[in-house]
Chains A and B, each alone.
Chain A
Amino acid sequence: MASNPQTDPTLEALVAQKYRHGFVTDIESDTVPPGLDEDVIRLISRKKGEPQFMLDWRLRAYRHWLTMKEPHWAHLRIQPIDYQSISYYSAPKPKTDAPKSLEEVDPKLLETYDKLGIPLHERARLAGVAVDAVFDSVSVATTFKERLNKAGVIFCSFSEAVQKHPELIEKYLGSVVPHTDNYFAALNSAVFTDGSFVFVPKGVRCPMELSTYFRINAAKTGQFERTLIVAEENSHVSYLEGCTAPMRDENQLHAAVVELVALEGAQIKYSTVQNWYPGDENGVGGIYNFVTKRGECRGANSKISWTQVETGSAITWKYPSCILTGDNSVGEFYSVAVANNYQQADTGTKMIHIGKNTRSTIVSKGISAGHGQNAYRGLVKVLPSAINARNFTQCDSLLMGDKCGAHTFPYMEVRTPTASVEHEATTSKIGDDQLFYCLSRGISEEDAVNMIVNGFCKAVFKELPMEFAVEAQNLLAVSLEGSVG
């Protein structure tokens, strides 16, 4: 179980770490010094050439943020974050220190790619090799963009969308996650610098999976990312976020916001594989990942489905949620969260039933190993208007070893007698007898653990797009390497 945070020297080191790269002496004119006030926000907005409504919105968010208190969680050990030490704007610039070829990349990183089965031609891109050295991705991206254009799908960076489609941004931005929503969402609203925008027009089935990988002009968006996906009537879209390759980032705090809007009959499937640097085996380093993800099934018969595989970050705090406003709308949440070494994961979902006959399904699989602490926190709220609403929640925890922990906090608020809400929860230790059974068939311990863990997560993996599912399995194997025995 968690030790006393006051006496844990590793956390101090972790916090100290964020200053290590500090601020380079030859500050380029496009980098704002650390600190946050209204001038910084005006500067960000001006640098990005934003319309007035965006600046007003940012300032409203900032002023609200000032009145808010940082949240506290019973099951997270966290040191205070110094918001004045962060630099909130840094123009995208060519990386001069980027490796010129794979030969210059850290062999340890390459070894991990190997284990993950990442194709050779992708490794260079992932390792941050200078882009002009990677020919493949350029041509692939171009054909990709042409196909989307033909279908009428807009998929671009958030900045580009603000320039080219300001009316869509003004209409939908903050309509699901208002700038007042929570501490980190307010901060993000004030200072976000980029992200992704997707718009799928009426009746269009997006011709391919949209992946952040292919986002055109994918400049490094850093710590405050904003994603907005709008699916018009009867449209379909599947969006993949993240990638299984380990991501290192010098920004310790990540506070992203993702908003999904599904109009009548629309379907949005949002899949995430998150593998940010979790810190080393002693809990040193690692990213704090505080994300607000929410989708609204605004129209009748719409559907939003979240699938996530969370293996990275030192601290993960996220609750992808669905607001089921439209009648007969459907919300789904499938999650695998891993907490190994000193990682802490606090995830779950909120399903808010407002429309009639709304349905939601929650399947959460938490895996704890080492000193990892995994918490599931879920809220199912059924308003009086949600006649005949149904929810099914299944929440399973797997413990590897005896120093880790799993906690489950299901909250239910049901305000109509016609609703049906079902909850099942299990906690199991990875069984010695299961392990021995595999060994006695000649299978190595490592393979046996992978097999058992993947079996445990099967219900979630089958929701992932095919290639992602395979990657996710490999990722899980790498994340749990050496955690039994």
Chain B
Amino acid sequence: MLSIKNLHALAGEKQVLHGLDLEVGAGEVHAIMGPNGSGKSTLAQVLAGREGYTVTGGSVTYKGKDLLSLSPEERAREGVFLAFQYPVEIPGVNNVYLLKAGLNAIRKHRGESEMDAFEFLTLVREKMKLMQMDESFLNRGVNEGFSGGEKKRNEILQMAVLEPSLALLDETDSGLDIDALRVVANGVNSLRSPDRAIVLVTHYQRLLDYIEPDHVHVLSGGKIIKSGDKSLALELEKRGYDWVKQEAAA
């Protein structure tokens, strides 16, 4: 599904990714862990196509296409979804209006008919129930005045509605209370399917208790320096990152 080869990229002026390789197959869940500032969010932004993040080398192939040649909105329409580490507020723009516009743009791209307001509301209500979100969020501005945890939940609501093929979740677990963590994990798990892939960026094992990853990677200094199965996450939790870095340097 996703094949990243020797990726080099700048965040602003700063070289952050230094030759990153990652292979993600359909149906797989990958967890990316790593110290603060190691480049995890940069990777996510590069994959989503954000301006200000410049690829200086390497390639990214998604579903057989050159992902880097697509505009951000084309990537979204092709099924790439990024749940932001810091979701932005857009005052005055209705939360579900934005979601409906996104969904219909994606459906149009796929050659499907646009959803009318009624069908759409039925769908959103169902997904909001899954995310245990109050109906009042239907009428609020995009993330406007949402608490930290509510913003994260809203990201997963969007994901549940847009049903992407490749979901990139950047620290969606940060800032969630214990119950919310379970709800969000539930939302993510409900999306798991043989034709979808999920890449989770996280600092904590507790998310992985709920969403079991097939692969765990350590990103440090702009590269994947170690990969393993879910037991790697447990080991990192116990021992931290220093031993991995030393191993990689040796």
Binding site for B on A (CB under 8 A): 431-434, 436-445, 447, 451-452, 454-459
Residues of A within 8 A of B142 (CB): 437
Contact of A451 among B49, B93, B109 (CB under 8 A): B93
The answer on a CB contact under 8 Å between A442 and B51 is: no
Q: Cβ of B105 and Cβ of A452 under 8 Å apart? A: no
In the complex, which residue of chain B has the Cβ closest to the Cβ of A451?
B93
Q: What distance in Å separates the Cβ of A469 from its nearest Cβ neighbour in chain B?
A: 13
Q: 7 pairs across A/B with beta carbons < 8 Å?
A: A432-B51, A436-B50, A436-B51, A439-B49, A439-B71, A444-B105, A452-B93
Provide the bound-state CA to CA distance between A439 and B49, in Å: 9
Which parts of B199-225 form the interface with A (CB within 8 Å)? none
Asked whether, in the complex, the Cβ of B101 is within 8 Å of the Cβ of A443, the reply is yes
In angstroms, how far is the closest chain B Cβ from the Cβ of A396?
A: 10
For A445, what are the chain B residues with a Cβ–Cβ distance below 8 Å?
73
In the assembled complex, the Cα of A154 lies from the Cα of B77 at a distance in Å of 56
Contact B93 A454 (CB under 8 A): yes
B57 within 8 A of A: no
Taken together as a complex, chains A and B put the C-alpha atoms of A455 and B89 apart, in Å, by 11
Separation in Å of the B87 CB from the closest CB of chain A?
A: 7
**When the two chains form the complex, which single residue of A433, A444, A459 contacts B88, counting CB atoms closer than 8 Å?**
A433
Within 8 A of A (CB), among B29-66: 48-52
Give the total of B residues in contact with A, Cβ under 8 Å.
33
Interface residues of B (CB under 8 A from A): 48-52, 71-73, 75-77, 81-82, 84, 87-88, 90-93, 97-99, 101-103, 105-106, 109, 141-142, 158, 162
The interface centre, meaning the residue of A433, A438, A441 with most chain B CB atoms within 10 A of its CB, is A441
Beyond known contacts A438-B102, A442-B77: 13 more, CB 8 A cutoff: A437-B84, A438-B98, A440-B73, A441-B98, A441-B102, A442-B76, A444-B73, A444-B105, A447-B105, A451-B97, A451-B98, A452-B90, A457-B92
* A385 CB to nearest B CB, Å: 38
A436 touches B90 (CB 8 A): no
A440 touches B48 (CB 8 A): yes
Are B88 and A455 neighbours in the complex by a CB distance under 8 Å? no
Identify the interface centre among B90, B91, B162: most chain A CB within 10 Å of its CB: B90
Cβ contacts under 8 Å, A438 to chain B: 90, 98, 101-102
CB closest residue in chain B, given A396: B91
Docked complex Cα distance between A439 and B84 (Å): 13
**Chain A neighbourhood of B106, CB < 8 A:** 442
Q: Closest A residue to B77 by CB, please name it.
A: A442
**Nearest 8 CB-CB pairings of A with B:** A455-B92, A441-B102, A455-B93, A442-B76, A458-B92, A439-B72, A442-B105, A442-B106
Given the complex, which residues of A lie within 8 Å of B48, measured CB to CB?
Answer: 436, 440
Can you name the residue of chain B whose Cβ is closest to the Cβ of A432?
B51
Interface pair B93/A442, CB less than 8 Å apart: no
Question: Smallest CB–CB gap between A291 and chain B, Å?
Answer: 28
Chain A residues closer than 8 Å to B81, beta-carbon distance: 440
Which residues from B are CB-within-8-Å of A456?
91-92
The reply to whether B162 and A442 contact each other, CB–CB distance below 8 Å, is yes
- Name A444's closest neighbour in chain B (CB-CB): B73
- Report B-chain residues with C-beta under 8 Å of the C-beta of A447: 101, 105
* Smallest Cβ-Cβ distance to A457: which chain B residue: B92
A431 to B87, CA, bound (A): 13
Q: Are A441 and B162 in contact (CB under 8 A)?
A: yes
Inter-chain CA distance A440–B74, complex, in Å, is 9
Q: Which of A433, A436, A443, A457 contacts B98 (CB 8 A)?
A: A443
What residues of B have a CB within 8 angstroms of the CB of A459 in the complex?
92
User: Are B88 and A437 in contact, CB atoms less than 8 angstroms apart?
Assistant: yes
> Quick one: closest A residue to B79, CB to CB?
A442
Please determine whether B105 and A431 come into contact, CB atoms closer than 8 angstroms: no
Residues of B within 8 A of A451 (CB): 90, 93, 97-98, 101
Which residue of chain A is the closest to B144 with respect to CB atoms? A455
**Interface pair B82/A440, CB less than 8 Å apart:** yes
Q: Which A residues lie within 8 Å of B50 (CB)?
A: 436, 440
The chain A residue with its CB closest to the CB of B164 is A442
Q: Which residue of A lies closest to B141 (CB)?
A: A455
Instruction: Provide the residues of chain A in CB contact with B87, threshold 8 Å.
Output: 437
Closest to B101 in A: A443
A444 cross-chain contacts in B, Cβ below 8 A = 73, 105
For the complex, give the distance between the alpha carbons of A436 and B53 in Å: 12
